[in-house]
Amino acid sequence: MDDDIATLRSTSLAGIAAASDLRALDETRVSLLGKAGTLTRLLKELGRAAPEQHRARGAHLNHLRDDLTEALDSRRVILEEAAIAARLVSERIDITLPPPPEPAGSLHPISRTLDEMAAIFGAMGFAVAEGPDIETDWHNFSALNIPSHHPARDDHDTFYLPGIAGGSPRVLRTHTSPVQIRTMLTQAPPIRVIVPGRTFRADHDATHSPLFHQCEGLVIDRNITLAHLKGCLIDFLRAFFDLATLPVRFRASYFPFTEPSMEVDIGWNRKTGEIGAGGDWLEILGSGMVHPNVLANTGIDPREWQGFAFGMGVERVTMLKHGIPDLRPFYDSDLRWLRHYAFSPLLPAMLHEGGGA
Ligand code: 2NL
């Protein structure tokens, strides 16, 4: 007579046992014990049963409700533990893995070239000297034997600043030579310095930027000759281009601040751009013996001291060394260009003991 209760018991217990997760189990609970649940409905219908069946059927239904509640609770505990175990597996992290690499900065090719120049000349005994970007007209021109209204001043496309300093107009330095002037004014010979730094000229096209870099050098001592100049620059160029037999040629030239003056060429292949081979010549440096007027202008007696000086464009030698075809991207801060041409700061600047020939 309570067959329907026995059937409900077995199907319900099977349903509870079959619930594969907490959601399915809750749905099973609602379908049995919820407001519209099967068992709830049977309990509500109890009133319609015959009075003599009422007690016994009521007891059976209550007993079934207790058993189903207990079965739901124990199944819930099992499923909760299984859910935690699954999370522990799926959310596992391997704390022994190395961390992802930090994005590393890199060295601009101009900085790299300046580092290499400091390393190569440093090994020859040169110190690095620096000075201001804003100079007096006297330090930038007059002291260098370039008189007022001399056409050489026009060559330099000078940026003039308003106002004067100590009677001298102010300029953005057009070369790093005024730093050598300041060195000669403040240090007694012997002097061996290189002067890397920013320089400015009012000139802007595919091969000229209004801001560019130079590295000049100055040696002052007793009995310095053209042979010292030649040996020093040949050794530098062979170290810088890493070619022990790089051909180097000295060609007579003119600068107001040196006498005699020489331009320096290196061997290359005009067609391929390869340095050191090919039979063509490429101008790379200007140089000369420091003009006696320049020594006298800085209080150094030209009968006792001689010296040589040189200057080169940093962008130009950097482009030649690394095959960089265009000057303009040097100052664009374009990360794609920098990722291609910049250098790891972990690579040490080359440190050659001379030319290696
Ligand atoms: C070039 C040529 C040169 C100098 C720079 C110099 C400086 C002093 C005295 C004498 Cl204080 N000379 N500097 C000498 C010869 C050439 O540069 O083509 N630069 C890019």
**Is there a contact between 254 and 146 (Cβ–Cβ < 8 Å)?**
no
Whole-angstrom distance, CA of residue 152 vs CA of residue 136: 16
Return the number of other C-beta atoms located less than 10 Å from residue 36's C-beta.
8
SS3 138: helix
Token readout for 339 is 């990722």
DSSP assignment letter at 212: E
Sign of the C-alpha dihedral computed for residues 320, 322, 326 and 332 taken in this order: negative
Strand order in the sheet with 168-172: 134-136, 168-172, 160-165
Using CA atoms, how far residue 125 sits from 81, 116, 242, 289, in Å, is 76, 14, 20, 19
pLDDT of residue 121: 97
Give exposure, 103-115, as e/b (b: 16+ Cβ within 10 Å).
eeebbbbbbbbbb
- Distance from the CA of 286 to the center of ligand 1, in angstroms? 6
Ligand 1 pocket member 306 (CB < 6 A): no
Whole-angstrom distance, CA of residue 150 vs CA of residue 155: 10
Among the atoms of ligand 1, which is closest to the Cα of residue 298? 11
Ligand 1 pocket member 214 (CB < 6 A): yes
Ligand 1 atom 15 nearest Cα? 287
Q: What is the DSSP string of 169-200?
A: EEEE-SSSHHHHHHHHHHSPSPEEEEEEEEEE
Kindly give the confidence (pLDDT) of every residue in the chain, 357 residues in length, as a single tens digit, with 9 standing for 90 and above: 578 899 999 999 999 999 999 999 999 999 999 999 999 999 888 888 778 888 888 899 999 999 999 999 999 999 999 999 999 999 988 889 888 888 888 999 999 999 999 999 999 999 999 999 999 999 999 999 998 777 767 766 899 998 887 888 899 999 999 999 999 999 999 999 999 999 999 888 777 889 999 999 999 999 999 999 999 999 999 999 999 999 999 999 999 999 999 999 999 999 988 999 889 999 999 999 999 999 999 999 999 999 999 999 999 999 999 999 888 899 999 999 999 999 888 877 765 444 443
Sign of the C-alpha dihedral computed for residues 294, 297, 299 and 302 taken in this order: positive
- Distance from the CA of 329 to the center of ligand 1, in angstroms? 27
Phi, psi of 274 (to 5 degrees): -70, 130
Ligand 1 atom 17 nearest Cα? 311
Ligand 1 pocket member 309 (CB < 6 A): yes
Whole-angstrom distance, CA of residue 54 vs CA of residue 243: 111
